[in-house]
Chains A and B, each alone.
Chain A
């Protein structure tokens, strides 16, 4: 665990140095270029592009978390129970739509740029969070919910004070899945002119410059692994706090 964290810290440090001073790594990426191609992406600051990439992913994930958790709460209440089977099927069907198709079809409505990417990421992010929130809210230990009813808590109080806190680690696992998928999918957004790290990769593909493809892919991959690990750690912490470690 200690060594793992040290490695993560070193990788994070390397990533930061690379984003701020990419020229320091020109020697390494130069190994992958031919015919004096530039070794470091030269059509914009990598730091800006990365921050923009993260911003798009964060905004989309925040929106999908709010909507997906809200929907899951509605369909698990007695009022919305009629929507539960349909919402499950819809979440399943939604996963069969390829991201490229969603992006391309959002363009006529929203124009080129960031907007269609946000919409596509938002839609893709919904599914894992919704599924996990449903699992979290429907698999609570009956003893706990009965006890909450027994002490006279109203439906709202049970939801806020008992059900959501207990389901939080499972919900967070959904958010984690959703973030990792979005980080990779956001690169496809560059095919409709969104400013993400896909821009670097596509520039590399178009000029057959492997160094560009490699640095774009590496930044996204490293970010995904670091964010995945950080959220996993947060989940473990929350599970420990609610005394659920080992239950799930």
Chain B
């Protein structure tokens, strides 16, 4: 009996076994398939009526989607090769994203410009389930940094194609976009300028401060503690507190208002984001310089390098991956925080989020939130890859 028990697994193919994570993904997917796939509203504000997977699409498409989901279900449950799971996960996600657009077209009555169709809870759960499958597969496969950036570019291109082809035009979020396309792109530019501009200034100023703190020990605790306290000030308060001083500067410093400094708007937002970025940049510069091996510094000294040559030629390059990790943290953080700038008239995607909250129009909130999350996610993937590429010898930071 015990011999038979132990013998069974060797006869059974390896893939014919349940994957624990797959069971969880399958359960989420079942819940997703049972919940409404789309939400139909007669106009923008009224509560929606739900449409199940079968009602939300023409028979052919809904059958197709169910077949795709079943394949994805099986691929998640069984221990098939990870690459197969990844491929199936991507295919199911693509099917979901293409068909949700078709569902909107199908559900919107012809010539009705008031009706709104948005993805339902079921759609989001299905996306979540298969995104888990893809994330797990990607984590296990440990692709090289350049491959990861490549996958990101392909996914971004696929979404761009979907948007450009117009197949999503009947979705509620895109209808919100259609009525404010110029504003959307203006706010997008502001958002990018705020997030990237503040990080750029923080790097230009923060890295020298970090070097100084590294060289002058007594400064270190004082500077880091001060920056730590800045981090504890809530973002909306810091944005607000900068209004008065900047208004004063604009009024009293000649030329300040000419270059766009004023009490409300983008200037206080930029300064606040910069203030939040300083701590991670400075402290990572200090930590990075501390982690440079003394042997490397000694060798540089032995070669007769001066202090400046050592710093520029040896210490900073060796500390670079750690400094880059600090930049990654602040860039992702500032892309998210820049949404708050809208509260003080600083613009950015937060404008749509707060307008949406005010009008309880969730599609408008999504119009601001989705690009923000996508940007932050893309920035995280790209910078993680860069950090890995710059840390030599596969050292993980």
Out of A104, A202, A224, A225, which one reaches B357, CB within 8 Å? A104
Q: For the side of the interface on B, what is the size category?
A: 35 or more
Closest chain B CB from A15 CB (angstroms):
14
> Across the interface, which residues of A come within 8 angstroms of B332, CB to CB?
95-96
A104-B356 contact given A96-B332, A187-B236, CB 8 Å threshold: yes
Count, chain A residues at interface, CB 8 A: 47
The answer to whether A82 has its CB under 8 Å from any CB of chain B is yes
Q: When chains A and B are docked, how far (Å) is the Cα of A86 from the Cα of B85?
A: 14
Q: Which residue of B lies closest to A228 (CB)?
A: B232
Q: Are B241 and A213 in contact (CB under 8 A)?
A: yes
Q: Are A104 and B135 in contact (CB under 8 A)?
A: no
Q: Are B353 and A184 in contact (CB under 8 A)?
A: no
The answer to whether A1 has its CB under 8 Å from any CB of chain B is no
Q: When chains A and B are docked, how far (Å) is the Cα of A108 from the Cα of B361?
A: 9
Closest chain B CB from A45 CB (angstroms):
19
Q: Are B365 and A32 in contact (CB under 8 A)?
A: no
Q: Which residue of A lies closest to B245 (CB)?
A: A210
Q: When chains A and B are docked, how far (Å) is the Cα of A242 from the Cα of B41?
A: 60
Closest chain B CB from A17 CB (angstroms):
21
> Across the interface, which residues of B come within 8 angstroms of A217, CB to CB?
233-234, 237-238, 240-241
Out of A32, A104, A107, A198, which one reaches B236, CB within 8 Å? A198
A101-B353 contact given A93-B377, A95-B332, A217-B234, CB 8 Å threshold: yes
> Across the interface, which residues of A come within 8 angstroms of B244, CB to CB?
32, 210
Which secondary structure characterizes the binding site on chain A? Answer: helix
Q: Are A225 and B232 in contact (CB under 8 A)?
A: yes
Q: Are A183 and B232 in contact (CB under 8 A)?
A: yes
The answer to whether B19 has its CB under 8 Å from any CB of chain A is yes
Q: Are B135 and A100 in contact (CB under 8 A)?
A: no
Q: Are B237 and A201 in contact (CB under 8 A)?
A: yes
Residue in B237, B244, B362 with the greatest tally of chain A CB atoms within 10 Å: B237
Contact pattern, B 330-355, Cβ under 8 Å of A = 1, otherwise 0? 00100111011001100000100110
Q: Are B366 and A221 in contact (CB under 8 A)?
A: no
The answer to whether A156 has its CB under 8 Å from any CB of chain B is no
Q: Are A191 and B240 in contact (CB under 8 A)?
A: no
Within B228-266, which residues are at the interface with A (CB < 8 Å)?
229, 231-241, 243-244
Q: What are 8 A-B contacts defined by CB distance under 8 Å?
A: A86-B139, A95-B332, A107-B357, A188-B236, A201-B237, A213-B240, A221-B234, A225-B232
* Shortest Cβ-Cβ A-B pairs, 4 listed: A217-B237, A98-B336, A101-B369, A224-B232
Residues of B within 8 A of A (CB): 19-21, 132, 135-136, 138-140, 229, 231-241, 243-244, 332, 335-337, 339-340, 343-344, 350, 353-354, 356-357, 360, 362, 365-366, 368-369, 372-373, 376-377, 379-380
Residues of A within 8 A of B (CB): 32, 80, 82-83, 85-86, 88-90, 92-93, 95-101, 104-105, 107-108, 180, 183-185, 187-188, 191-192, 197-198, 201-202, 204-205, 208, 210, 213-214, 216-217, 220-221, 224-225, 228
Given contacts A88-B139, A205-B344, 17 further A-B contacts (CB under 8 A): A90-B135, A96-B379, A97-B373, A97-B376, A98-B372, A98-B376, A100-B369, A101-B339, A104-B362, A107-B357, A188-B235, A201-B234, A205-B240, A213-B240, A214-B241, A217-B237, A217-B241
